[in-house]
Structure 1
């Protein structure tokens, strides 16, 4: 990492060395006095949520990696360029980019990308500490159909899990890792080969192929065929694995684009699929604040939309004990700079111009089913108000589709539709 002068360093760097980071937007500041006075006492009792029309119990299902979704939508992935996303619980997802139809010769294979995976029973520093699962994992690492690359958004325990990293390294030793600044050293210390780790700052991009099972840069892998462009995107959050290292590593989201490059003209490329994972992020200081994070509109304008996105709709699991005790913690009456509300997740869907959004970061490390109901009801209500169609309700309208899946459930989309 090269040192930069104070005038040249990025706004999210907190020092010239790039070893401390901050959120650079007013939307991440503590609430103003007027906003604080709008907050009420945050604790109460849960109403009967399970009878609400938008509430449904989140089941744990054995993954079929998109077969049911393809069938339900009458999609032939042998005749259409597709992206298939499977929710693995919490913020974790597996995305399959199916082989491009234009390749014709059958030389291409599916590419599998794993995002923020956690398969452990607890999200903490040891196997015996930290929030525990309310819902079991739908599968294990060894059950995955593939894993060409892993994307980590930040180093909190519920997004960067030691046991999960170790299992991935054992089952998929050639996989490539993409992490925000400051996280490479931790991965190397777990046994990951340094050559397989790409550490990136916000807006950094890397282009390459997954043809040989590892990520090769375009210059190494040649110019023709299918390439992927990986971009580290801003998020409004923080980092730290102890009380002493807060902000010492970066947090991010990820934008992943696939391009088909002409064999006759390497400068001629056509985007054939794009996904977005927001990581863990806030959107505004409180749900009542009018000051919002500008990064998401910037992402939407830069990439001109995504075929499939994964956006958090609930807070982390560290406060799950509250609902376990039967109490309701209102996210409308606490600061929300680091975790967006379900309604704000809909705003992110609109800002990044997502065509299909899966709500994640809920329903897993919780204290009761009420937390899932709370998240789903508000997410669905906000989607309805925005004219956003449900994932399961047919073709996307002007404002796209959004919804939730069962743990292990999948959703398939046709690229560009």
Structure 2
């Protein structure tokens, strides 16, 4: 590996880990004031920026570990192409129920979901690449193939992106989707559209926390997350990160993106809950002293689901890529144990990659 590739691989680790209805009507997005209005999000404050333009989290910043912890972690990530895939998420190639049958969700892998609600279809944080990295093939390895081929997608009415880390904003995939669905809008947090526009993805809608847009009969709300952003040198926290809710006349869905556990979950639950289904990240939490400021562990994901007033929780962000130090199968095992010991009022929707289920 050349010095340039070593540098790029190390840079990736700091970025990604520290980390069919073509006629759907797209209404202009509206900014709802925190006072008045039938769709107000009174409890959701907009994201603030410091004097250098860096976005701030709702809660105080958590620790990102000592220098020794981070250097050791980055060194181990350089070797990820040689790591075995034992314990990776299960994959199914069985035929799935029709997406037209009911509101449904399909796990494509990692944080990528194909969600169908009220006759419309959308994707979350789509990544079909084998390596989420600025310099592939160096970077985390994909241990499980996508659960659905790009060419097998239904018409996609919109695409949600939570933040700009490479395992969530995958430019090669977004360019393919923009070509495949030229009229489909990409809904992103503030200051992320420029990156997409740079790569020819021009149909974008940017929102701040607490802002909403209407696509067909679905309301999309941009909501807080406790995380950060970075893709290169000097752009730390210059683009916003978020979670998302999508509500139809009869269902409420929440996509957590990537986040530490924080007070915002209760704010979101009070403002927009209860939710029929919440998709929450449960992996990439080890070493804990480095990850606790930006990634939940499985037990915290259960707490977040309860704060969100969820009926059902779908674990994501585990078992697909090698992003952190915990064994690939540990997040789901801990999640299932926590679900049994921490609550009697919450059920889980645990999917194999490629599996679709009604909700």
**Bin for the TM-score computed over the shorter chain:** 0.7 to 0.9
Q: Is the 8 A contact 2:252 2:273 kept in 1?
A: no
Give the 3-state SS of the residue equivalent to 1:371 in structure 2.
coil
Identify the residue that residue 305 of structure 2 maps to in structure 1: 349
Quick one: distance in 1 between partners of 2:212 and 2:196? Answer: 20
Alignment partner of 1:24 is 2:58: yes
Alignment partner of 1:197 is 2:204: yes
Quick one: distance in 2 between partners of 1:117 and 1:154? Answer: 12
Q: 2:144 aligns with which of 135, 141, 147?
A: 135
Identify the residue that residue 14 of structure 1 maps to in structure 2: 49
Question: What displacement does 1:369 show?
Answer: 11
Give the 3-state SS of the residue equivalent to 1:122 in structure 2.
coil
Alignment partner of 1:244 is 2:234: yes
Q: Report the CA distance shift for 1:168/1:63 in structure 2 as closer, same or farther (over 3 A).
A: farther
- Per-residue CA deviation, residues 50-95 of structure 1 (Å, 9 max, x unaligned), is xxxxx9863222374545xx9xxxxxx76xxx42011111111010
TM alignment of 1:145-184, pairs within 5 A: 145-184=154-193
Q: Is the 8 A contact 1:380 1:403 kept in 2?
A: no
Question: What displacement does 1:278 show?
Answer: 0.5
Identify the residue that residue 220 of structure 1 maps to in structure 2: none
Identify the residue that residue 38 of structure 2 maps to in structure 1: none
Quick one: distance in 2 between partners of 1:335 and 1:117? Answer: 23
Quick one: distance in 1 between partners of 2:244 and 2:231? Answer: 21
Give 1 or 2: higher strand fraction. 1
Q: 1:299 aligns with which of 265, 268, 275?
A: 268
Deviation >3 Å, runs of 4+: 63-67, 367-370
Quick one: distance in 1 between partners of 2:218 and 2:257? Answer: 19
Q: Report the CA distance shift for 1:184/1:385 in structure 2 as closer, same or farther (over 3 A).
A: same
Quick one: distance in 2 between partners of 1:61 and 1:368? Answer: 24
Alignment partner of 1:91 is 2:98: no
Question: What displacement does 1:371 show?
Answer: 2.3
Question: What displacement does 1:313 show?
Answer: 0.2
Quick one: distance in 2 between partners of 1:343 and 1:367? Answer: 19
TM alignment of 1:5-404, pairs within 5 A: 12-15=47-50, 19-26=53-60, 28-30=61-63, 58-62=89-93, 64-67=95-98, 82-98=102-118, 110-193=119-202, 196-209=203-216, 227-259=217-249, 272-283=250-261, 293-315=262-284, 329=286, 331=288, 334-366=290-322, 371-388=327-344, 399-404=345-350
Q: Report the CA distance shift for 1:64/1:176 in structure 2 as closer, same or farther (over 3 A).
A: farther
Q: Which runs of 5+ in 1 are unaligned?
A: 1-9, 33-40, 43-54, 71-76, 99-109, 210-226, 260-271, 284-292, 317-328, 389-398
Quick one: distance in 1 between partners of 2:292 and 2:214? Answer: 35
Q: Is the 8 A contact 1:134 1:367 kept in 2?
A: no
Identify the residue that residue 35 of structure 2 maps to in structure 1: none
Q: Which runs of 5+ in 2 are unaligned?
A: 1-44, 66-71, 74-85
Give the 3-state SS of the residue equivalent to 1:232 in structure 2.
strand
Q: Report the CA distance shift for 1:12/1:164 in structure 2 as closer, same or farther (over 3 A).
A: same
The root-mean-square deviation of aligned C-alpha atoms, in Å, is 2.8
Larger radius of gyration: 1
